[in-house]
Structure 1
């Protein structure tokens, strides 16, 4: 058993060494004179999203805690991107993988999980993914990875190679090297926890602002200081927003939260394509909308500085939804009002 675990950790470390760090993209926005906005492009990971970092950490956490065993299946509750990344690492280690996800998950994500050898197990409501994952893990004698509980503790927020350390290292030669704001949306809450803890550990003056979509309880729970809140509706922005406050969400390291309308997220996502020539997902639109609101506030106060947010995943995963005008009109509504508020549109 120990030999298998040692080899599994070695395989993950070797995979990491084969991967370069992700890029930091500076947006060209003449309207925001004196304010620089950057996107940490997590779509360039091997599995195409921010969740690649999380999946690597969760596998190492599970291996070092003795929970992931040779030949035993790994089960995860996921709305898509985490499942894709975990399927990648499960294949790397030769393990069966099952993703429990809502039936509404984008077809492209389902195809990618299956591409890496994983199996998708669908439920009708997003709130059902937790219990069904536990049931499958018990029935199959496997390990329920449970990203929503372990995301905030699986990542070493003090060490190097986490997303916060990477951002501040890459910003070192910029004209405003210490960002005024870091902006991040919450799915598990693990990335915002890593960013907030790192800011405090390094004693930076940077503020962490977490943006939240419609049909998510994170914002209300933060405002009301009530972590027991729940919602019967699921987020329409895949990968972020939850109907309950997840255990990995750490409100005490957050300086401020902003609620973002779903139509604003999609408008900003499409606006970004005009600026960088590539499509990103709607969670990136949520992040960037928040960053632009903060930039406008800085302009009004006469401040200069930098803002960093995250490009979470590739837009090609959402061609049948967020980039489909008929779907958007039916599910989200008209984006014209929100597009008119974006710089230079």
Structure 2
């Protein structure tokens, strides 16, 4: 293929990605009901309504655009990723749109539901026995087939334009303009790659907003320890049960300097929160949304204690239908030794009194 032909293909690929974005309306900003006399509003930006059903739809599109404009992706490029979850699902969707082969490296124990979603969009799963081997195997595959390793964990923070260009932060502030507290007091997000917290943290500083960014971290994850100690080589070596967030190592896209607060959240608390969300709003979400809600409740309780009015925005990251056999299955909770009842009671007390005592997790 000539260089001219290659440039023409890239232009058409970018047009296809832009057209897909234009066909999708912006994601909704839902209100979570709180007592009116608190003077505090809680919003959830519903990323589950993207065509591939999760927040990772934005990331996948950004990663492909980044590869295209950097000359790393052409008409014959094989796209490689290390992901067993929502990022791989979204990348497979965009790869099929561009007529490109997509292979993702996944642990052998990956659920059949996830594999089916990746394959539904035309992706191929390459299995490894140990999750930490995903990274090196993805690099090897990309090298062998002269492909492009999308590498979400390295490029998430730089593939998204944090100044604007319809990123999630810009979208939130545009949607908040008509609310009674248009500039959020807090933005609450989890960290999987670290890209979302980097985007929000950079954007609020660039736009000179007073908003603070809080990152919630589930059990077994390394991000909280890295933020607390300043050691970016901090690692737990353990996988998170809350899919989409939490990592056994600190990923390169994690930018601790743009984060104002980090909160550790018990897994049972995350899963109690998504059931509360469904009961109170009808929205069915995955576990990472519950982690976000737990952190938002904790911060709102602090605002109430200080007599502070304002708004808090967090994310509904993906839909709950993907977790019907796990997070919403009482037998699975029992197998995992997760008791959500104490947290359900904690949330009910919070929504009545405004008081919330977080659990102190062991270091």
1:224 aligned onto 2:229: yes
In the other structure, the counterpart of 1:242 is 247
1:166 aligned onto 2:140: no
The 10-residue stretch of structure 1 (188-197 or 269-278) with the greater mean CA deviation from structure 2: 269-278
1:160 is paired with a residue whose SS is: coil
In the other structure, the counterpart of 2:39 is 34
Shift of 1:185: 0.3
In the other structure, the counterpart of 1:14 is 19
1:187 aligned onto 2:166: no
2:38 is paired with a residue whose SS is: coil
RMSD: 1.3
CA contact (8 A) 1:80 1:106 kept: no
In the other structure, the counterpart of 1:265 is 270
In the other structure, the counterpart of 1:329 is 334
Q: Where does structure 1 lack aligned partners over 5 or more consecutive residues?
A: none
Equivalent of 1:320 in 325, 335, 341:
325
The 10-residue stretch of structure 1 (118-127 or 99-108) with the greater mean CA deviation from structure 2: 99-108
Q: Deviations over 1:229-268 (max 9, x none)?
A: 1222111111100111111000000001000011111010
TM-score by length of 1: 0.97
TM-score by length of 2: 0.93
Shift of 1:32: 7.0
CA contact (8 A) 2:237 2:249 kept: no
In the other structure, the counterpart of 1:144 is 149
| C-alpha distance in structure 2 between counterparts of 1:292 and 1:180, whole Å | 13
CA contact (8 A) 1:181 1:307 kept: yes
In the other structure, the counterpart of 1:63 is 68
> Equivalences for 1:84-99 in 2 at 5 Å?
84-99=89-104
Q: Where does structure 2 lack aligned partners over 5 or more consecutive residues?
A: 1-5, 353-363
| C-alpha distance in structure 2 between counterparts of 1:304 and 1:65, whole Å | 45
CA contact (8 A) 1:32 1:299 kept: no
CA contact (8 A) 1:187 1:240 kept: yes
1:74 aligned onto 2:40: no
| C-alpha distance in structure 2 between counterparts of 1:219 and 1:145, whole Å | 26
| C-alpha distance in structure 2 between counterparts of 1:285 and 1:161, whole Å | 25
In the other structure, the counterpart of 2:58 is 53
Q: Summarize the Cα distance change of 1:64–1:303 in structure 2 as closer, same or farther, 3 Å threshold.
A: same
| C-alpha distance in structure 2 between counterparts of 1:75 and 1:118, whole Å | 10
1:340 is paired with a residue whose SS is: helix
Shift of 1:332: 4.3
| C-alpha distance in structure 2 between counterparts of 1:184 and 1:263, whole Å | 18
Equivalent of 1:274 in 258, 275, 279:
279
In the other structure, the counterpart of 1:295 is 300
Shift of 1:307: 0.2
In the other structure, the counterpart of 1:128 is 133
Q: Deviations over 1:164-188 (max 9, x none)?
A: 0000010001011100000000000
Shift of 1:137: 1.0
1:308 aligned onto 2:313: yes
Q: Summarize the Cα distance change of 1:38–1:160 in structure 2 as closer, same or farther, 3 Å threshold.
A: same
